[in-house]
Structure 1
Amino acid sequence: MNRIIHYSTLTILSILILSNIQQLYGQKIKGKGSDTMLPLMEELVKIYKTGTTKSVDIIGGGSSLGFRGLTNYDIEFALSSRKVEETEKLKIETKYDQLLENIIAYDALSIITHPSNKVTKLTIAQLKKVFKGEVTNWKQLGGEDVQIVVISRDKNSGSYGFMESIILNDEAMTKTCIVSRSNAGVVQRVGLERGAIGYCGIAYVEEIVKPLAICDRNNEYIYPSFKNALQKIYPLSRPLYLYYRKSDKLKVDYLINFALSDKGQQIIAHKGYIPVF
């Protein structure tokens, strides 16, 4: 009798363990964050989910919103086109849990203007003056007598954070800038405004805008092409991250491993982003 009860107990425990494992690996996971990374992640998830029972939901909105989602336990992983800030990390981590980071691709932040603009290249110093509002006419940069219209992402965007840190050295962007909530919105507005200048991820660059060559430390002007970004010689190249809690590692690992696999990296390149290797 005791042996029967013992076997029954083991059977029940086995069923419970199996059920928990199936729930762990089969449940839905959610991601949120970088608008720059959204097309890349949507394509990865689309292929990743094919032939599996796994469910992954992803939305954009900006890198900051991804970190906020992790803080509030609304999502399992965050998409970010910038490195997490220390203040964000402190809000997410606990005594028993830590924030993990993976670089899954690279991007070339492209400075774009209207195609009719005669200016083809700028230095970092010139970019800073433009986005601070100190230079207000293209004539000051060797172009036509046309007022400069700055198009920027909103402050939730990792691209905005990158521009603020790398180009503006943490100084304020001009108050006259027009704010767009997406890369696509920036591209559309720049393509319609003759004097406009903006910035977007390399995968968003279309024929309706013209990317500018940017001067590097060797005083060479480098165009934001796929090849130059792949060789890491474009001055405004940047890593693209996935962030998640250590406690969610088992849930997220399969997706990250797929993104870093040969197939995943091929998908990343096909979408116009720069593979890790």
Structure 2
Amino acid sequence: MCIILLFFLGLMGFVAMIFSLFSEDTKFYTLFVIVATSVLAIFIIWRIFIPVRARIFNRSLIAFFSLAALTVGGYEIKEAYVNSIPTVSEQDFVLDEYQPYRENTKAAKLDESSTLKLEGDLPKMDGATALYPLYAAFAQAVYPKKQYNQFDSEVMASTTPEAYKNLMDGSVDIIFAAGPSEQQLEEAKSKGVELKLTPIGREAFVFFVNASNPVKGLSMEQIQSIYEGKITNWQEVGGQNENIRAFQRPENSGSQTMLEKIMVNKKIMTPPKDDVVGGMGGIIDRTANYKNYDNAIGYSFLFFATEMVNNGNIRLLEVNGIKPEKRAIVSKEYPFAAEFYAVTAGSKNPNVPRLIEWILSEQGQSLVEKTGYTPVAATNTN
């Protein structure tokens, strides 16, 4: 009887563990199933082989189930609280609103007809999420009026790593993104692809914190020390006595590449992780999105961050006493400002150089400014 009961208990525990692998809370529920199954096995052995009053056994069993219920309830309450904290993620950015020629599109428009109009051989575009509003505006000015699906058209929208991959694979003609990472440069070299980077605008790389954080700014050295893991408490930089949660972006993303550049040769510490279920393959650790805890710090590019900062939950930090404003980007006073590019890789499309030339023209640069970025023409005059 003991063997039969333990077999069926183990079978139910195994099935429960399989289901737990498909839960967002895999670690907790997998451990919970293992512990609960083990304790129930002990109860079965105890009841069969050790003489005990039924009252004592029943009370012990009720106490165990009560403790298990409280454990699950407490965990779910904690998770509900964590999930209620706003997350700053690229996935929260609504790209559809900037789609070319969409009714009431938020994509910037020229005040007059474009001097370049393409009808055939449309260069296939892709790029960083934060730059989609810009190159969607380019397409709206130059490309013929029709629907441009973000996933399969001449104007696609992905992420920086995916855009570079598409460019190197030859599935797109031109991408709009921050400069490539060392890994992306090595990948291009291994594929025999030469990346040509044409600066088309400048943008500030910004750091932000919870709006309630009393820290208004950091020095470049303090930021480097935070992401090295040397400064771990806000009290060390004039804040409250709380540990710093320094969030990072996924590897090869434009903003993570920028962080690597400003860290110079300093080693970046291991970022916070999310546990993501990988089906039957188990758990995959990935870099967690910025979670707006009171003690969090994160980063992005100015346009993207200001789109998200509208809710008032986060605040941009000064760097070396300079606010990340357009004036400071133009004057180059703000230390973390970088060019972004139209990147090509030897496309044979004859309209690619024509499009880039137009982007660098007065009309193209006016769309850069209207979208919310700093034109390269403005920075070149300083």
Give the TM-score of the pair, scaled to structure 1. Answer: 0.75
- % identical equivalent positions: 24
Give the whole-Å Cα distance in 1 for the aligned partners of 2:206 and 2:336. Answer: 8
Q: Give the structure with higher Rg (CA).
A: 2
Structure 2 Cα separation of the partners of residues 134 and 113 of structure 1: 18
C-alpha distance 180-105 of structure 1, shift in aligned 2 (>3 A): farther
**1:211 aligned to 2:316?**
yes
Relative distance call for 1:270 and 1:172 in structure 2 (3 A) is same
User: Contact (CA 8 Å) 2:119, 2:144: kept in 1 or not?
Assistant: no
Is the contact between residue 37 and residue 81 of structure 1 (CA under 8 Å) also seen in structure 2?
no
Deviation track 1:103-145 (CA, whole Å, cap 9, x = no partner) reads 1111100111111111111112211121223222211111112
Q: Give the structure, 1 or 2, with the largest relative contact order (CA under 8 Å, sep 6 or more).
A: 1
Cα contact 2:181–2:252 (8 A) shared by 1: no
**Is 2:197–2:344's contact at 8 Å kept on the other side of the alignment?**
yes
2-side partners of 1:44 and 1:175: how far apart?
36
Q: Distance in 1 between matches of 2:141 and 2:324?
A: 28
Q: Which amino acid aligns with 2:136?
A: E
What's the counterpart of residue 69 of structure 2?
A: none
Unaligned 5+ residue runs, structure 2? 1-117, 275-285, 378-382
Unaligned runs of 5+ in 1: 1-23, 216-220
Partner of residue 87, structure 1 = 186
Question: In 2 relative to 1, CA 151–143 (structure 1 residues): closer, same or farther, beyond 3 Å?
Answer: same
* 2:225 matches 1:129: yes
| Residues in 1 aligned to 2:159 and 2:374: alpha-carbon distance in whole angstroms | 22
Residue equivalent to 1:251: 351
Partner in structure 2 of residue 39 of structure 1: 133
Looking at structure 1, the residues matched to 245 and 154 of structure 2 have their Cα atoms a distance apart, in angstroms, of 39
- Separation in 1, partners of 2:212, 2:226: 18
Query: Using the alignment, how far apart are the partners of 2:316 and 2:254 within structure 1?
Result: 19
Q: Cα RMSD (Å) of the superposition?
A: 2.8
Which residue number corresponds to residue 247 of structure 2? 151
Residues 43-88 of structure 1, C-alpha deviations (whole Å, 9 max, x = no match): 22223225699973221212x3322222222211222212464413
- Of Structure 1 and Structure 2, which has the larger fraction of its residues in helix? 2
Equivalence for 1:65: 162
Paired AA for residue 211 in structure 1: L
Aligned 8 A contact 1:111 1:198 in 2: yes
CA 140–53 in structure 1, closer or farther in 2 if over 3 Å, else same: closer
Q: Which amino acid aligns with 2:131?
A: M
Gap change, CA 1:258 and 1:50, over 3 Å in 2: farther
CA distance in 2, matches of 1:161, 1:256: 24
What letter is aligned with 2:154? V
User: Which letter maps to 2:270?
Assistant: T
